[in-house]
Chain A
Amino acid sequence: MSGDLDLEQRYRRVLRLLPGYYRERWEDDMVGTFLDGWLTGDTEADEYISQAARPEWAEVASVACLAARLYLGGAGTPRRYFAWGQAVRRAVLAVMLVHAVLGLDVLVRTAWSRRLFGLPAPSAILTIFSPGGVWPTVYYLVNFAWIVIFVALVLGRYRTAQITAVLAIAAALVGLLQAQLTGIMPAPFASWAFWVPLSLAPALAMAAFHRDAPPPARWPWLLALPAGDLLVIVPLLALQASSNFAWVPDFPGQCCLLVALACLAYAPRAWSHRAAGSGAWSLALVLLAAAAGAYRIASLTEYLHDPHLIMVGLGELLILGTAAALVAPDAARAQAATPAQPPDPHPMAA
Protein backbone atom coordinates (compact mmCIF):
# COMPACT_ATOMS: atom_id res chain seq x y z
CA MET A 1 0.00 0.00 0.00
CA SER A 2 1.31 3.43 -0.90
CA GLY A 3 0.41 4.68 2.61
CA ASP A 4 3.11 2.46 4.09
CA LEU A 5 5.81 3.78 1.80
CA ASP A 6 8.16 6.62 2.57
CA LEU A 7 9.04 9.39 0.11
CA GLU A 8 12.07 7.58 -1.29
CA GLN A 9 10.08 4.41 -1.94
CA ARG A 10 7.29 6.38 -3.56
CA TYR A 11 9.74 8.07 -5.89
CA ARG A 12 11.47 4.78 -6.69
CA ARG A 13 8.06 3.42 -7.62
CA VAL A 14 7.61 6.31 -10.08
CA LEU A 15 11.04 5.54 -11.53
CA ARG A 16 9.84 2.03 -12.43
CA LEU A 17 8.34 3.74 -15.47
CA LEU A 18 11.88 3.91 -16.86
CA PRO A 19 13.57 1.04 -18.73
CA GLY A 20 15.73 -1.26 -16.62
CA TYR A 21 19.03 -0.37 -18.30
CA TYR A 22 18.41 3.32 -17.61
CA ARG A 23 17.44 2.76 -13.97
CA GLU A 24 20.55 0.69 -13.43
CA ARG A 25 22.67 3.63 -14.53
CA TRP A 26 20.76 6.62 -13.11
CA GLU A 27 18.20 5.58 -10.47
CA ASP A 28 20.26 6.12 -7.32
CA ASP A 29 21.50 9.45 -8.61
CA MET A 30 17.96 10.57 -9.46
CA VAL A 31 16.67 9.50 -6.05
CA GLY A 32 19.49 11.37 -4.32
CA THR A 33 18.79 14.56 -6.28
CA PHE A 34 15.06 14.23 -5.64
CA LEU A 35 15.51 13.78 -1.88
CA ASP A 36 17.98 16.69 -1.75
CA GLY A 37 15.09 18.87 -2.90
CA TRP A 38 12.88 17.72 -0.02
CA LEU A 39 14.94 16.86 3.02
CA THR A 40 16.25 19.52 5.36
CA GLY A 41 18.89 17.71 7.47
CA ASP A 42 16.71 18.03 10.57
CA THR A 43 15.91 14.46 11.66
CA GLU A 44 12.45 15.16 13.07
CA ALA A 45 11.33 17.33 10.15
CA ASP A 46 12.76 14.88 7.61
CA GLU A 47 10.92 11.98 9.21
CA TYR A 48 7.65 13.85 8.91
CA ILE A 49 8.38 14.90 5.30
CA SER A 50 9.40 11.39 4.39
CA GLN A 51 6.10 9.97 5.63
CA ALA A 52 3.76 12.75 4.45
CA ALA A 53 5.19 14.04 1.15
CA ARG A 54 4.59 12.60 -2.28
CA PRO A 55 6.28 13.29 -5.61
CA GLU A 56 4.55 16.21 -7.33
CA TRP A 57 2.62 15.59 -10.51
CA ALA A 58 5.12 17.69 -12.45
CA GLU A 59 7.92 15.38 -11.27
CA VAL A 60 5.91 12.31 -12.22
CA ALA A 61 5.14 13.86 -15.62
CA SER A 62 8.82 14.61 -16.24
CA VAL A 63 9.69 10.96 -15.53
CA ALA A 64 6.82 9.78 -17.77
CA CYS A 65 8.06 11.99 -20.63
CA LEU A 66 11.59 10.66 -20.16
CA ALA A 67 10.23 7.09 -20.17
CA ALA A 68 8.33 7.70 -23.43
CA ARG A 69 11.51 9.07 -25.03
CA LEU A 70 13.54 6.07 -23.87
CA TYR A 71 11.04 3.32 -24.73
CA LEU A 72 10.39 4.87 -28.16
CA GLY A 73 14.12 5.17 -28.56
CA GLY A 74 16.22 7.15 -30.94
CA ALA A 75 19.91 7.11 -31.71
CA GLY A 76 22.02 5.66 -28.92
CA THR A 77 19.30 3.61 -27.21
CA PRO A 78 19.45 -0.20 -26.98
CA ARG A 79 18.39 -2.09 -30.08
CA ARG A 80 15.05 -3.27 -28.64
CA TYR A 81 13.87 0.24 -27.79
CA PHE A 82 15.21 1.66 -31.02
CA ALA A 83 13.17 -0.98 -32.92
CA TRP A 84 10.05 0.04 -30.96
CA GLY A 85 10.71 3.70 -31.66
CA GLN A 86 11.22 3.12 -35.37
CA ALA A 87 8.14 0.88 -35.56
CA VAL A 88 5.90 3.44 -33.86
CA ARG A 89 7.30 6.28 -35.98
CA ARG A 90 6.68 4.34 -39.20
CA ALA A 91 3.19 3.27 -38.12
CA VAL A 92 2.32 6.88 -37.26
CA LEU A 93 3.67 8.07 -40.61
CA ALA A 94 1.60 5.42 -42.40
CA VAL A 95 -1.61 6.48 -40.63
CA MET A 96 -0.81 10.13 -41.29
CA LEU A 97 -0.24 9.21 -44.94
CA VAL A 98 -3.75 7.74 -45.11
CA HIS A 99 -5.17 10.94 -43.57
CA ALA A 100 -3.12 13.07 -45.97
CA VAL A 101 -4.20 11.05 -49.01
CA LEU A 102 -7.84 11.49 -47.96
CA GLY A 103 -7.19 15.21 -47.43
CA LEU A 104 -5.53 15.51 -50.82
CA ASP A 105 -8.51 13.76 -52.40
CA VAL A 106 -10.90 16.25 -50.80
CA LEU A 107 -8.65 19.12 -51.90
CA VAL A 108 -8.40 17.94 -55.51
CA ARG A 109 -12.10 17.19 -55.82
CA THR A 110 -13.06 20.50 -54.23
CA ALA A 111 -10.86 22.34 -56.72
CA TRP A 112 -12.21 20.24 -59.56
CA SER A 113 -15.79 20.90 -58.45
CA ARG A 114 -15.01 24.60 -58.62
CA ARG A 115 -13.56 24.08 -62.11
CA LEU A 116 -10.14 25.38 -61.09
CA PHE A 117 -8.40 22.94 -63.45
CA GLY A 118 -10.24 24.09 -66.57
CA LEU A 119 -11.78 20.62 -66.84
CA PRO A 120 -15.47 19.86 -67.30
CA ALA A 121 -17.39 19.60 -64.05
CA PRO A 122 -17.09 16.17 -62.36
CA SER A 123 -20.08 13.88 -62.13
CA ALA A 124 -22.45 14.61 -59.27
CA ILE A 125 -21.16 11.67 -57.23
CA LEU A 126 -17.59 13.04 -57.29
CA THR A 127 -18.52 16.68 -56.65
CA ILE A 128 -17.63 18.20 -53.29
CA PHE A 129 -19.20 21.42 -52.07
CA SER A 130 -18.00 23.32 -49.05
CA PRO A 131 -20.37 22.51 -46.21
CA GLY A 132 -22.50 25.17 -44.57
CA GLY A 133 -22.26 26.04 -40.87
CA VAL A 134 -19.27 26.65 -38.66
CA TRP A 135 -18.53 23.17 -37.29
CA PRO A 136 -19.11 21.26 -40.53
CA THR A 137 -16.70 23.74 -42.14
CA VAL A 138 -14.15 23.20 -39.35
CA TYR A 139 -14.54 19.45 -39.73
CA TYR A 140 -14.05 19.84 -43.47
CA LEU A 141 -10.91 21.98 -43.02
CA VAL A 142 -9.39 19.38 -40.68
CA ASN A 143 -8.96 17.22 -43.79
CA PHE A 144 -6.34 19.65 -45.03
CA ALA A 145 -4.59 19.88 -41.65
CA TRP A 146 -3.58 16.22 -41.98
CA ILE A 147 -1.64 17.06 -45.14
CA VAL A 148 0.29 19.69 -43.18
CA ILE A 149 0.90 17.24 -40.31
CA PHE A 150 2.18 14.49 -42.60
CA VAL A 151 4.50 16.78 -44.57
CA ALA A 152 5.80 18.42 -41.37
CA LEU A 153 6.64 15.00 -39.88
CA VAL A 154 8.43 13.89 -43.02
CA LEU A 155 10.42 17.16 -43.14
CA GLY A 156 11.45 16.75 -39.50
CA ARG A 157 9.29 19.63 -38.20
CA TYR A 158 8.08 17.49 -35.32
CA ARG A 159 6.86 20.26 -33.05
CA THR A 160 4.82 21.85 -35.87
CA ALA A 161 3.28 18.46 -36.65
CA GLN A 162 2.48 17.73 -33.00
CA ILE A 163 0.85 21.11 -32.35
CA THR A 164 -1.17 20.92 -35.59
CA ALA A 165 -2.22 17.36 -34.72
CA VAL A 166 -3.51 18.45 -31.30
CA LEU A 167 -5.54 21.21 -32.97
CA ALA A 168 -6.79 18.82 -35.66
CA ILE A 169 -7.96 16.09 -33.30
CA ALA A 170 -9.56 18.68 -31.00
CA ALA A 171 -11.44 20.20 -33.95
CA ALA A 172 -12.40 16.74 -35.20
CA LEU A 173 -13.63 15.86 -31.72
CA VAL A 174 -15.84 18.96 -31.59
CA GLY A 175 -17.12 18.18 -35.09
CA LEU A 176 -17.79 14.59 -34.02
CA LEU A 177 -19.69 15.65 -30.92
CA GLN A 178 -21.65 18.21 -32.91
CA ALA A 179 -22.52 15.59 -35.54
CA GLN A 180 -23.69 13.17 -32.86
CA LEU A 181 -25.71 15.75 -30.95
CA THR A 182 -27.48 16.94 -34.10
CA GLY A 183 -27.95 13.40 -35.38
CA ILE A 184 -25.85 14.07 -38.48
CA MET A 185 -23.22 11.35 -38.77
CA PRO A 186 -21.16 11.63 -41.93
CA ALA A 187 -19.91 8.04 -41.62
CA PRO A 188 -17.37 6.57 -41.69
CA PHE A 189 -15.18 9.46 -40.55
CA ALA A 190 -17.33 11.14 -37.89
CA SER A 191 -17.41 8.18 -35.54
CA TRP A 192 -15.64 7.15 -32.37
CA ALA A 193 -14.56 3.96 -34.14
CA PHE A 194 -12.58 6.14 -36.57
CA TRP A 195 -11.47 8.93 -34.24
CA VAL A 196 -9.94 6.83 -31.46
CA PRO A 197 -7.70 4.37 -33.38
CA LEU A 198 -6.93 6.53 -36.43
CA SER A 199 -6.75 10.07 -35.02
CA LEU A 200 -6.27 10.10 -31.24
CA ALA A 201 -3.94 7.08 -30.91
CA PRO A 202 -1.50 8.12 -33.68
CA ALA A 203 -1.52 11.71 -32.43
CA LEU A 204 -0.48 10.47 -28.96
CA ALA A 205 2.10 8.17 -30.54
CA MET A 206 3.72 11.23 -32.12
CA ALA A 207 5.64 11.38 -28.84
CA ALA A 208 7.99 8.99 -30.65
CA PHE A 209 9.11 11.92 -32.80
CA HIS A 210 11.57 13.49 -30.36
CA ARG A 211 14.89 15.17 -30.96
CA ASP A 212 16.83 11.89 -30.74
CA ALA A 213 14.63 10.26 -33.39
CA PRO A 214 16.36 9.78 -36.74
CA PRO A 215 14.66 11.70 -39.56
CA PRO A 216 12.38 9.63 -41.81
CA ALA A 217 13.40 8.85 -45.40
CA ARG A 218 12.10 12.05 -46.92
CA TRP A 219 11.50 11.36 -50.60
CA PRO A 220 9.86 7.92 -50.42
CA TRP A 221 7.32 9.23 -47.91
CA LEU A 222 6.68 12.45 -49.84
CA LEU A 223 6.22 10.54 -53.10
CA ALA A 224 3.84 8.14 -51.34
CA LEU A 225 1.33 11.00 -50.98
CA PRO A 226 0.55 11.55 -54.69
CA ALA A 227 1.16 7.86 -55.36
CA GLY A 228 -1.43 6.89 -52.76
CA ASP A 229 -3.91 9.27 -54.34
CA LEU A 230 -3.29 7.88 -57.84
CA LEU A 231 -3.09 4.19 -56.93
CA VAL A 232 -5.82 3.94 -54.31
CA ILE A 233 -8.19 6.89 -54.40
CA VAL A 234 -8.47 7.35 -58.18
CA PRO A 235 -9.39 3.69 -58.87
CA LEU A 236 -11.93 3.78 -56.04
CA LEU A 237 -13.48 6.97 -57.40
CA ALA A 238 -13.53 5.49 -60.91
CA LEU A 239 -15.43 2.49 -59.57
CA GLN A 240 -17.76 4.79 -57.69
CA ALA A 241 -18.38 6.91 -60.80
CA SER A 242 -19.06 3.79 -62.90
CA SER A 243 -21.62 2.55 -60.35
CA ASN A 244 -19.56 -0.63 -59.72
CA PHE A 245 -19.08 0.24 -56.09
CA ALA A 246 -21.36 -2.24 -54.39
CA TRP A 247 -18.70 -4.94 -53.98
CA VAL A 248 -15.98 -2.54 -52.80
CA PRO A 249 -15.36 -2.89 -49.04
CA ASP A 250 -16.30 -0.02 -46.74
CA PHE A 251 -13.49 2.20 -45.42
CA PRO A 252 -12.61 0.02 -42.37
CA GLY A 253 -12.51 -2.96 -44.72
CA GLN A 254 -10.26 -1.05 -47.13
CA CYS A 255 -7.90 -0.26 -44.24
CA CYS A 256 -7.77 -3.96 -43.28
CA LEU A 257 -7.07 -5.07 -46.84
CA LEU A 258 -4.48 -2.33 -47.39
CA VAL A 259 -2.55 -3.38 -44.28
CA ALA A 260 -2.93 -7.06 -45.25
CA LEU A 261 -1.47 -6.30 -48.69
CA ALA A 262 1.43 -4.43 -47.09
CA CYS A 263 2.09 -7.43 -44.80
CA LEU A 264 2.05 -9.81 -47.76
CA ALA A 265 4.38 -7.55 -49.73
CA TYR A 266 6.84 -7.33 -46.82
CA ALA A 267 6.62 -10.99 -45.74
CA PRO A 268 9.46 -12.22 -48.03
CA ARG A 269 11.79 -9.58 -46.59
CA ALA A 270 10.66 -10.35 -43.05
CA TRP A 271 11.55 -14.00 -43.55
CA SER A 272 14.79 -13.32 -45.37
CA HIS A 273 15.83 -10.92 -42.60
CA ARG A 274 15.38 -13.57 -39.94
CA ALA A 275 19.10 -13.84 -39.45
CA ALA A 276 19.78 -10.12 -39.25
CA GLY A 277 16.24 -9.35 -38.05
CA SER A 278 15.98 -5.60 -37.56
CA GLY A 279 12.23 -6.19 -37.66
CA ALA A 280 11.17 -2.55 -37.20
CA TRP A 281 9.04 -2.62 -40.36
CA SER A 282 7.45 -5.91 -39.31
CA LEU A 283 6.65 -4.42 -35.91
CA ALA A 284 5.21 -1.32 -37.61
CA LEU A 285 2.97 -3.55 -39.76
CA VAL A 286 1.75 -5.44 -36.70
CA LEU A 287 0.90 -2.13 -35.00
CA LEU A 288 -0.96 -1.00 -38.13
CA ALA A 289 -2.80 -4.33 -38.24
CA ALA A 290 -3.84 -3.80 -34.61
CA ALA A 291 -5.15 -0.30 -35.39
CA ALA A 292 -6.99 -1.45 -38.54
CA GLY A 293 -8.40 -4.46 -36.68
CA ALA A 294 -9.61 -2.29 -33.80
CA TYR A 295 -11.23 0.07 -36.29
CA ARG A 296 -12.91 -2.85 -38.10
CA ILE A 297 -14.22 -4.42 -34.91
CA ALA A 298 -15.53 -1.12 -33.51
CA SER A 299 -17.25 -0.22 -36.76
CA LEU A 300 -18.99 -3.61 -37.01
CA THR A 301 -21.51 -2.35 -34.46
CA GLU A 302 -23.08 -0.33 -37.29
CA TYR A 303 -23.88 -3.58 -39.12
CA LEU A 304 -25.55 -5.52 -36.33
CA HIS A 305 -28.79 -5.48 -38.35
CA ASP A 306 -27.13 -7.25 -41.32
CA PRO A 307 -25.54 -10.68 -40.74
CA HIS A 308 -24.07 -10.67 -44.26
CA LEU A 309 -22.07 -7.51 -43.63
CA ILE A 310 -20.94 -8.90 -40.27
CA MET A 311 -19.62 -11.98 -42.06
CA VAL A 312 -17.83 -9.79 -44.61
CA GLY A 313 -16.23 -7.82 -41.78
CA LEU A 314 -15.13 -11.00 -40.00
CA GLY A 315 -13.68 -12.23 -43.30
CA GLU A 316 -11.65 -9.03 -43.59
CA LEU A 317 -10.40 -9.53 -40.04
CA LEU A 318 -9.39 -13.09 -40.89
CA ILE A 319 -7.42 -11.92 -43.94
CA LEU A 320 -5.79 -9.18 -41.87
CA GLY A 321 -4.88 -11.56 -39.04
CA THR A 322 -3.45 -14.17 -41.41
CA ALA A 323 -1.34 -11.60 -43.25
CA ALA A 324 -0.11 -10.05 -39.99
CA ALA A 325 0.84 -13.51 -38.70
CA LEU A 326 3.34 -13.76 -41.57
CA VAL A 327 5.38 -10.83 -40.27
CA ALA A 328 4.62 -11.33 -36.55
CA PRO A 329 7.60 -13.65 -35.86
CA ASP A 330 10.02 -11.07 -37.24
CA ALA A 331 8.26 -8.37 -35.20
CA ALA A 332 8.49 -10.51 -32.06
CA ARG A 333 12.20 -11.04 -32.61
CA ALA A 334 12.72 -7.29 -32.89
CA GLN A 335 10.87 -6.36 -29.71
CA ALA A 336 12.09 -9.33 -27.72
CA ALA A 337 15.72 -8.81 -28.64
CA THR A 338 17.93 -8.61 -25.61
CA PRO A 339 18.55 -4.96 -24.94
CA ALA A 340 22.17 -4.50 -25.78
CA GLN A 341 23.65 -2.50 -22.93
CA PRO A 342 25.10 0.65 -24.44
CA PRO A 343 28.56 1.37 -23.10
CA ASP A 344 28.44 3.55 -20.01
CA PRO A 345 29.82 6.84 -21.29
CA HIS A 346 30.91 7.86 -17.82
CA PRO A 347 32.19 4.99 -15.69
CA MET A 348 33.17 6.22 -12.25
CA ALA A 349 36.85 6.30 -11.62
CA ALA A 350 37.90 3.88 -8.89
Chain B
Amino acid sequence: MTGQAFFVLTALADGPRHGYGIVGEVADLSQGRVRLKIGGLYGVLDRLAAEGLIEPDREEAHDGRLRRYYRLTRDGRVALAEEAELRAATARVVRVRLGLAGAEAAG
Protein backbone atom coordinates (compact mmCIF):
# COMPACT_ATOMS: atom_id res chain seq x y z
CA MET B 1 0.00 0.00 0.00
CA THR B 2 1.40 3.40 -0.98
CA GLY B 3 1.76 6.19 1.54
CA GLN B 4 -0.94 8.24 -0.19
CA ALA B 5 -3.41 5.34 -0.14
CA PHE B 6 -2.66 4.76 3.54
CA PHE B 7 -3.37 8.40 4.36
CA VAL B 8 -6.59 8.45 2.31
CA LEU B 9 -7.90 5.31 4.03
CA THR B 10 -6.93 6.75 7.42
CA ALA B 11 -8.78 9.98 6.57
CA LEU B 12 -11.93 7.90 6.04
CA ALA B 13 -11.47 5.73 9.13
CA ASP B 14 -13.64 7.86 11.44
CA GLY B 15 -16.41 8.58 8.94
CA PRO B 16 -17.29 9.47 5.36
CA ARG B 17 -15.61 12.48 3.74
CA HIS B 18 -15.87 14.27 0.40
CA GLY B 19 -12.87 14.91 -1.85
CA TYR B 20 -11.81 18.25 -0.40
CA GLY B 21 -12.41 16.94 3.13
CA ILE B 22 -9.99 14.09 2.39
CA VAL B 23 -7.36 16.55 1.08
CA GLY B 24 -7.60 18.59 4.27
CA GLU B 25 -7.61 15.59 6.59
CA VAL B 26 -4.57 14.06 4.88
CA ALA B 27 -2.71 17.36 5.24
CA ASP B 28 -3.59 17.42 8.95
CA LEU B 29 -2.71 13.76 9.53
CA SER B 30 0.66 14.17 7.84
CA GLN B 31 1.32 17.49 9.59
CA GLY B 32 1.42 19.21 6.22
CA ARG B 33 3.91 16.85 4.61
CA VAL B 34 1.42 15.26 2.20
CA ARG B 35 -0.55 17.75 0.12
CA LEU B 36 -2.65 15.83 -2.35
CA LYS B 37 -3.27 17.37 -5.76
CA ILE B 38 -6.65 16.63 -7.33
CA GLY B 39 -5.21 14.41 -10.06
CA GLY B 40 -3.27 12.43 -7.47
CA LEU B 41 -6.25 12.16 -5.10
CA TYR B 42 -8.60 10.79 -7.77
CA GLY B 43 -5.92 8.42 -9.03
CA VAL B 44 -5.83 6.98 -5.49
CA LEU B 45 -9.62 7.04 -5.01
CA ASP B 46 -10.16 5.31 -8.37
CA ARG B 47 -7.69 2.58 -7.47
CA LEU B 48 -9.08 2.09 -3.94
CA ALA B 49 -12.64 1.92 -5.32
CA ALA B 50 -11.56 -0.63 -7.93
CA GLU B 51 -9.97 -2.71 -5.16
CA GLY B 52 -13.19 -2.53 -3.17
CA LEU B 53 -11.60 -0.70 -0.22
CA ILE B 54 -13.81 2.42 -0.43
CA GLU B 55 -17.27 3.14 -1.79
CA PRO B 56 -19.54 6.18 -2.21
CA ASP B 57 -21.59 7.08 0.85
CA ARG B 58 -23.93 9.90 -0.24
CA GLU B 59 -24.12 13.12 -2.23
CA GLU B 60 -24.88 16.51 -0.71
CA ALA B 61 -25.53 19.87 -2.34
CA HIS B 62 -23.05 22.59 -1.40
CA ASP B 63 -23.00 26.07 -3.01
CA GLY B 64 -24.84 24.72 -6.03
CA ARG B 65 -22.50 21.78 -6.50
CA LEU B 66 -22.88 18.16 -5.47
CA ARG B 67 -20.32 16.80 -3.06
CA ARG B 68 -19.80 13.06 -3.18
CA TYR B 69 -18.81 11.46 0.13
CA TYR B 70 -16.76 8.27 0.39
CA ARG B 71 -16.53 5.70 3.16
CA LEU B 72 -14.43 2.67 3.96
CA THR B 73 -15.80 -0.74 3.06
CA ARG B 74 -15.39 -3.74 5.37
CA ASP B 75 -12.40 -4.84 3.25
CA GLY B 76 -11.01 -1.32 3.50
CA ARG B 77 -11.14 -1.45 7.31
CA VAL B 78 -9.37 -4.80 7.34
CA ALA B 79 -6.70 -3.60 4.87
CA LEU B 80 -6.14 -0.39 6.85
CA ALA B 81 -5.90 -2.27 10.17
CA GLU B 82 -3.37 -4.71 8.70
CA GLU B 83 -1.31 -1.89 7.19
CA ALA B 84 -1.43 0.09 10.45
CA GLU B 85 -0.25 -2.98 12.40
CA LEU B 86 2.58 -3.55 9.94
CA ARG B 87 3.68 0.08 10.17
CA ALA B 88 3.39 0.06 13.97
CA ALA B 89 5.49 -3.10 14.21
CA THR B 90 8.12 -1.51 11.95
CA ALA B 91 8.06 1.66 14.05
CA ARG B 92 8.54 -0.42 17.24
CA VAL B 93 11.63 -2.08 15.73
CA VAL B 94 13.02 1.30 14.70
CA ARG B 95 12.52 2.72 18.21
CA VAL B 96 14.23 -0.30 19.78
CA ARG B 97 17.17 -0.08 17.39
CA LEU B 98 17.54 3.63 18.03
CA GLY B 99 17.46 3.01 21.77
CA LEU B 100 14.29 5.08 22.22
CA ALA B 101 11.98 2.36 23.53
CA GLY B 102 13.88 1.84 26.83
CA ALA B 103 14.24 5.56 27.45
CA GLU B 104 10.50 6.06 26.94
CA ALA B 105 9.61 3.23 29.31
CA ALA B 106 12.00 4.61 31.94
CA GLY B 107 10.58 8.13 31.46
* A residues lining the B interface (CB < 8 Å): 22, 25-26, 28-37, 39, 41, 58-59, 61-66, 69, 76, 211-212, 345-349
Contacts and interface: CB of A to CB of B under 8 A. Distances in A.
B49 A345 contact: yes
A58 B41 CA distance: 13
Contact of A62 (B37, B50, B54, B56): B37
Given A28-B66, A32-B65, A348 B56 contact: yes
Interface of B: 2, 18-20, 23, 37-43, 45-47, 49-50, 52, 54-56, 58-59, 62-63, 65-68
A77 to B, nearest CB: 10
Contacts of A63: 38-39
Contacts of A30: 19, 38-39, 42
Contact of A41 (B19, B37, B40, B63): B63
Chain A interface main SS type: helix
Contact of A32 (B19, B39, B46): B19
A64 B39 contact: yes
Contact of B37 (A59, A69, A345, A349): A59
Contacts of A346: 49, 54-56
B76 to A, nearest CB: 12
A74 to B, nearest CB: 10
B37 A58 contact: yes
B59 A348 contact: yes
For B37, B38, B46, B54, the residue with the greatest tally of chain A CB atoms inside 10 Å of its CB is: B38
A37 B20 contact: yes
A29 B68 contact: yes
A65 B41 CA distance: 12
Contacts, number: 79
Contacts of A212: 47
Contact of A59 (B38, B50, B55, B58): B38
Given A30-B42, A66-B42, A35 B19 contact: no
Contacts of B37: 58-59, 61-62
B65 A35 contact: yes
Given A39-B63, A212-B47, A33 B39 contact: no
A36 B24 CA distance: 11
Given A28-B66, A37-B38, 11 more contacts: A22-B46, A29-B19, A32-B19, A32-B65, A32-B66, A36-B19, A36-B20, A36-B62, A59-B37, A66-B42, A345-B55
A32 B50 contact: no
Contacts of A349: 56, 58
A61 B40 CA distance: 10
B91 to A, nearest CB: 24
B87 to A, nearest CB: 19
A66 B50 contact: no
Contacts of B59: 348
B72 to A, nearest CB: 12
Contacts of A59: 37-39
A65 B65 contact: no
- The 4 closest A-B CB pairs, nearest first, are A62-B39, A33-B19, A36-B20, A62-B37
A33 B41 contact: yes
A348 B68 CA distance: 9
B55 to A, nearest CB: 5
B18 A345 contact: no
